Structure 1
Amino acid sequence: MAKCEMKLPEEFLLKISKLGSDFDSVADTVLQAGGEVVLAKVRSNLSSVVGRGTKYDSRSTGELEGALGLSPSKLNRNGNHDVKVGFAEPRSDGGSNAKLANILEYGKHGQPAKPFLKPAKTASKQACIDAMTQRLEEEVKKR
């Protein structure tokens, strides 16, 4: 059986120990701060690709852009805190926003791909880390 040992920097461990039992609530606020940065980038990328480069006039209703949002922070089955950027379901016509987003992202026969999620993830990674770091510093100073 394999064994793995991870060592965290002392400075980070001291910050976490200051939080004590408040760690879960602080983790939620830190993740929300990072999620807001990513959500803003995804939203701007989505609005730039919807209706662009089509053969016919766009039939966009704005419902896909309106359904984009950020989930509240939750514990996953592994005990980690998660926030998700995604689409509310269902659409007013009974269709799926996730299906339309997938078609936009990857394309389909006769419709070229217009990626908006993957470029947003790449472009917002450092800004997200910075926002989360700043929020963590603020929360540690409060305590």
Structure 2
Amino acid sequence: MAKLQVKMPEDFLLKLSKLGDKTDEIIPKVLESGGEIVLEKVRSNLQAIVGSGTKEKSRSTGELISSLGLSPAKVDWNGNFNVKIGFKEPRRSGESNAKIANIIEYGKSGQPPKPFLKPARRASRKACIDAMKKMFEQEVENL
């Protein structure tokens, strides 16, 4: 399964701890606002890569791009909140979207890699953090 991880800055986490009871309401909103930024970058990278540089005419149906989405914020077994960018399963053909995304990202024998996840992570990091900070400040002002 394709996976993307962005870590939050320490000063941001300290501000969160000061909010007390409202943190469980604010954290999901903050994470989802940052996740949307990364999701859009992943989607645009994927659209640019699918069907490009092929020897034959592309057979893309758009199903992989349309299955890309953002999960709601959930708490993992360590007590950390997470949002995930991934693909809905399965495809109409029964094959795995994550498998196809993995082949595109890393390539296979006879097919060169066309990374779209790693570049999206690097390119959207600052914008993601800025969006989360902005949403956090908005939520703190609303308290």
- Structure 1 length-normalised TM: 0.89
State whether residues 105 and 114 of structure 1, in contact with CA within 8 Å, keep that contact through their aligned partners in structure 2: yes
> How high is the sequence identity, in percent, across the aligned residues?
58
Is 1:123 the counterpart of 2:123? The answer is: yes
- Output aligned runs, 1:3-82, within 5 Å: 13=14, 16-17=17-18, 19-82=19-82
Equivalent residue pairs, number: 134
Taking CA–CA contacts closer than 8 Å with sequence separation of 6 or more, which of the two structures ends up with the larger relative contact order?
2
Q: Matched residues in 1 for 2:15 and 2:71: separation? A: 29
Residues 33 and 131, structure 1, Cα contact 8 Å, conserved in 2: yes
CA RMSD between the two structures? 1.6
Structure (1 or 2) with the larger CA radius of gyration: 1
Amino acid in structure 1 at the alignment position of 2:92: S
CA distance in 2, matches of 1:25, 1:60: 40
2:100 equivalent to 1:100: yes
Which residue of structure 1 aligns with residue 135 of structure 2?
135
1:5 is matched with which residue? none
Q: 2:16·2:23 contact (CA, 8 Å) conserved in 1?
A: no
In structure 1, runs of 5+ residues without a counterpart are 1-7
Mark the runs of 5 or more structure 2 residues left unpaired by the alignment: 1-9
Q: TM-score, normalised by structure 2?
A: 0.89
Deviations 1:38-64 (A, max 9, x none): 000000000000000001000000000
Give the deviation of 1:20 after TM superposition.
2.2
How far residue 102 of structure 1 moved from its aligned partner, in angstroms, is: 0.2
Provide the rounded CA distance (Å) in 1 between the counterparts of 2:16 and 2:50.
43
Amino acid at match of 1:28: P
TM-aligned CA deviation for residue 25 of structure 1: 1.2
Deviation track 1:53-104 (CA, whole Å, cap 9, x = no partner) reads 0010000000000000000000011000000000000001100000000000
Letter of the 1:57 partner, please give it.
K
Is contact 2:35-2:85 (8 Å) kept? yes
One-letter identity of the residue aligned with 1:142: N
